[in-house]
Structure 1
Amino acid sequence: MTVTRFATISDPGKNMAVMDEIAVIGAGPYGLSVASHLRLRGVEPRVFGHTMSFWERQMPRGMLVRSPWEASSISDPQQSHSLDAYEAEQPRPFSRPLPGAELARYGRWFQVQAVPDVDTRLISTIEKHGDSFTLTVEDGERRHARRVMIATGLHSFAYRPPQFESLRDGLATHSMEMTEPDQFAGRSVVVIGSGQSAVESAALVLEAGANVELIARAPLIRWLTRGERIRRIDPLVRRILYAPTDVGPAGLSWIVAMPNLFRRLPIKPRERLAYRCIRPAATGWLVDRTAGVTFTLGRRVTQARPDTGGARLTLDDGSQRRVDHVILATGYQIDVTREPLIDASIRERLRVRAGYPVLGRGFESSIPGLHFVGAYSAWSFGPIMRFVVGTKFTGPAVAKHIEGVVTRGSRPTEGLPREAQAIAQTSGSK
């Protein structure tokens, strides 16, 4: 199959404009996986971004990966770059659960093996012009792409409840910013939330020497211990009750493991199913590690304000806390209309539901040629898209769809300025 990767054209301004068949924005697990599948099918993507940056720069030191080993490999078309293959090259086996830092190193290894030519520059803006897209790179270079796939992850959508807005001056940190637990040694810390991030953050700062209280609206912490007991006792029962993706409770796990089925469910049952599979919960191996944490459950903070170098919190029962720092393990709220990369003209034309782009085959949005993967695709294809295991479906699905479009004779230069079309049609194929 002959595919044009790119062509260069003269730009009336000071820069050169470059056209790619497909630009992949983001070099995390989803961007790398899709790129590896595209390459095998003869479609050479241009991948932008810092490899595994979210895992390297916005995860606390000492964090462990909640997903089991078997569900943590990044998908590649020949399954030759799995966690098992990576571990086999190391001097000693890794611990289970897998340390988050090791997952980041695995992702970098995967990139070198499967997608060696990642462009580490960041994209500033994406605009739509005719049938193509114009990308502005952080250094001012402009490129054209027939298709764009956004795989930028969650970092732009950390949710901070409004009652904590006054604690901006170093008094409150979202859990994704809490990279060094040791900074809280000897200090009093309140953690807000009841999910994995909240409970693990509490464990990490407690182990660093902090005095820790966890406050949550939930009346209890949902410990994920039943599934762990089943896995230890009877592997056959585990395979019957839980899909290999390992997302969701027994039985429901198999439904969300089939993204095409999930996408065809009626909207309301689909949304209820998704919440049931990802509601706040914590892994059983955190129970002992949080024995020294004070849990205040069934309560919410109604007011937070600075107070003599710390923060004063008022709860809904009238009680107060004076603490040195607050960690907000309050999750993420995706809203594609706030995605900083995409131009307003694109945002206004996107079909959106509950903040997520509505996606069809090939993870394509309502704007032809614009694709979203990873957490962005969770409303359409289900909660497994929030985890690395979702690459097993996403990579092949996107690559097959885009290869089909190219094979049917779509013209990479369609929609570009006339001079770009002329150069692209005469430039050599790769």
Structure 2
Amino acid sequence: MPETTSSLPVAVIGAGPVGLAAAAHLLARGLPVRVYEAGPEVGAHVRAWGHVRLFSPWRYNVDPAARALLEGAGWDAPPGDAFPTGHELVDRYLAPLAATPRLADAIETGARVTALGRLGLDKVSDRGRAGVPFVLTIAEAGRGARRDLARAVVDASGTWGQPNPLGASGLPAEGEADLAERTATGVPDVLGRDRADYAGRTTLVVGAGHSAANVLLDLARLADEVEGTTAVWATRGTDLSRVYGGGAADELAGRGDLGSRLRGLVDGCRLPLARGFAVTSVRRCRERLLVDGITAEGPRTLGPVDRVVAATGQRPDLALTRELRLDLDSCLESVRALGPLIDPNLHSCGSVRPHGHREVSHPEPGFYTVGIKSYGRAPTFLMLTGYEQVRSVAAALAGDLAAADDVRLVLPQTGVCATSRGDADADGCCGVPAPAAAGTCCPPAPARRSASTSFCGVPA
């Protein structure tokens, strides 16, 4: 490391589970670190879905280097087989970790990194680029902006703050912006803080991931408690194998149970489902909403409904890194090396082979994209993946390439796998014949509902 940068810290963007794990690994390697968190507290993105219970137990959610720091501070570890909510993850893990003596002074909250570059060099310039410090523009609420220097940058800023729009084209649907007060993103707290918005009303949930599943299950519970509460589910795709999951074959029982309960609502005719529905517009109908879309059979309208939840996933903020030389997958906006391994057009397994610093690096020396942001727009990510990424990155930055390249990652299997979306009836797993013990690897698609079943007069 050139003398001009050797005394500078490694900058970590984001103080969520993966960002704090990165800081813990860097400190364990004797490297100075600075963590920038845009929110008012560590784990701010986790707080946004804090009412949701994770389907992975504590033993999968605590990074080893982070655990060492916590235990050194007398941490009272939660039971490894218990399932935390997002709030519990912050209160019992992330906040205590950030308060440990070695990390406390390294973390700055309310500090949003708005731009990254090389000191005195734009994206085009080649002159000694690897030996020039990174420069970070930091926006502080009420205090303007400042510039900080770093020897390397680990971007763990996530994607939660960048929700995909309701429009199936990737652009906002017609009328979406004007009706934003009637549309929620992510996972609203249907049974708690946001109960009044959903009780006794009809809600359309758009999306086919675990966020949509959580919202729909909460709405079903609310319907049992409050008369007149109903939900409708719309998905752009027709293959729901990823969200339904492998049931009892899933090595994460909570994830398997989530999908099984959701499928039970549909099969039990408690949840009208419009598959293959691509949203194009949202419009008022008196005091309610109509949602227009296109299907393989032609245009279709769902409604009237009172609210819409766009559980349509997230995307990375690429404006932050415009002056850096990145290598991204053209489809997912993930790091390029991971694209073929996680592309939902090709895989539904929710697993990925072991990978580390080489896969999450870029042509920009010393810059790494880690955590869920490394997956770009891909929908399936586990904290275990991010923890191994940052362990490897910290080792590489410390010059221990043997440890950095010794990547080991064993993820709980979903029990369902298909080689292409829409191939839910395949009798093989990831392109090879399924072994006898993996009979649920690719379960058959659920029976289609009768065409005569309707919702608000529109064929289901």
C-alpha separation in 2, matches of 1:306 and 1:225: 31
Q: What pairs up with 1:95-114 in 2 under 5 angstroms?
A: 96-105=82-91, 106-113=93-100
Alignment equivalent of 1:53, drawn from 36, 41, 44: 44
Q: Is the helix fraction higher in 1 or 2?
A: 1
C-alpha separation in 1, matches of 2:20 and 2:13: 10
CA 1:79–1:247 in structure 2 vs 1: closer, same or farther (change >3 Å)?
farther
The question of whether the paired residues in 2 share the 8 Å contact of 1:193 and 1:329 is answered with yes
Match of 1:71 in 2: 60
Instruction: Tell me by how many angstroms 1:43 deviates.
Output: 0.4
The question of whether the paired residues in 1 share the 8 Å contact of 2:134 and 2:152 is answered with yes
C-alpha separation in 2, matches of 1:28 and 1:375: 11
The question of whether the paired residues in 1 share the 8 Å contact of 2:203 and 2:306 is answered with yes
- Partner SS state of residue 148, structure 2: strand
C-alpha separation in 2, matches of 1:75 and 1:95: 16
Instruction: Tell me by how many angstroms 1:177 deviates.
Output: 6.0
| Deviations, residues 386-406 of structure 1 (Å, cap 9, x unaligned) | 221123312320111011189
C-alpha separation in 2, matches of 1:220 and 1:142: 47
Q: Which amino acid aligns with 1:141?
A: R
Match of 1:356 in 2: 334
C-alpha separation in 2, matches of 1:163 and 1:339: 18
The question of whether the paired residues in 2 share the 8 Å contact of 1:132 and 1:147 is answered with yes
Q: Which amino acid aligns with 2:219?
A: V
Gaps of 5+ in 2: 122-131, 338-356, 402-460
Instruction: Tell me by how many angstroms 1:378 deviates.
Output: 3.3
Alignment equivalent of 2:364, drawn from 363, 367, 392: 367
Identify which range, 46-55 or 353-362, moves more after superposition.
353-362
Q: Is 2:12 aligned against 1:24? A: yes
Q: Is 2:131 aligned against 1:152? A: no
How large is the RMSD of aligned CA atoms in angstroms? Answer: 3.8
- Partner SS state of residue 88, structure 2: helix
The question of whether the paired residues in 2 share the 8 Å contact of 1:31 and 1:151 is answered with yes
Q: Which amino acid aligns with 2:87?
A: A
CA 1:193–1:31 in structure 2 vs 1: closer, same or farther (change >3 Å)?
same
Match of 1:404 in 2: 399
Alignment equivalent of 1:38, drawn from 11, 26, 30: 26
The question of whether the paired residues in 2 share the 8 Å contact of 1:28 and 1:107 is answered with yes
The question of whether the paired residues in 1 share the 8 Å contact of 2:13 and 2:153 is answered with yes
The question of whether the paired residues in 1 share the 8 Å contact of 2:209 and 2:379 is answered with no
The question of whether the paired residues in 2 share the 8 Å contact of 1:51 and 1:108 is answered with yes
C-alpha separation in 2, matches of 1:225 and 1:298: 14
Instruction: Tell me by how many angstroms 1:133 deviates.
Output: 1.4
C-alpha separation in 2, matches of 1:4 and 1:40: 23
Match of 2:211 in 1: 197
C-alpha separation in 2, matches of 1:329 and 1:387: 18
The question of whether the paired residues in 1 share the 8 Å contact of 2:327 and 2:362 is answered with yes
C-alpha separation in 1, matches of 2:243 and 2:283: 36
The question of whether the paired residues in 2 share the 8 Å contact of 1:220 and 1:297 is answered with no
C-alpha separation in 1, matches of 2:24 and 2:146: 25
C-alpha separation in 2, matches of 1:312 and 1:292: 22
Instruction: Tell me by how many angstroms 1:27 deviates.
Output: 0.4
Q: What pairs up with 1:155-194 in 2 under 5 angstroms?
A: 155-160=160-165, 161=167, 162=171, 164-168=173-177, 169=179, 170-176=181-187, 180-182=193-195, 183-194=197-208
The question of whether the paired residues in 2 share the 8 Å contact of 1:247 and 1:383 is answered with no
For these two proteins, the number of residue pairs brought into alignment is: 333
Gaps of 5+ in 1: 8-19, 232-241, 250-280, 407-430
C-alpha separation in 1, matches of 2:104 and 2:262: 37
| Deviations, residues 280-334 of structure 1 (Å, cap 9, x unaligned) | x953355667868423142404443321333212353535411111111111234
Q: What pairs up with 1:211-226 in 2 under 5 angstroms?
A: 211-219=230-238, 221-222=240-241
- Partner SS state of residue 102, structure 1: helix
| Deviations, residues 205-251 of structure 1 (Å, cap 9, x unaligned) | 343443211122444643878855357xxxxxxxxxx6xx99999xx
Match of 1:377 in 2: 374
Q: Taking CA–CA contacts closer than 8 Å with sequence separation of 6 or more, which of the two structures ends up with the larger relative contact order? A: 1
TM-score of the superposed pair, with normalisation by structure 1: 0.66
Q: Which amino acid aligns with 2:292?
A: T
C-alpha separation in 2, matches of 1:66 and 1:33: 20
The question of whether the paired residues in 2 share the 8 Å contact of 1:76 and 1:395 is answered with no
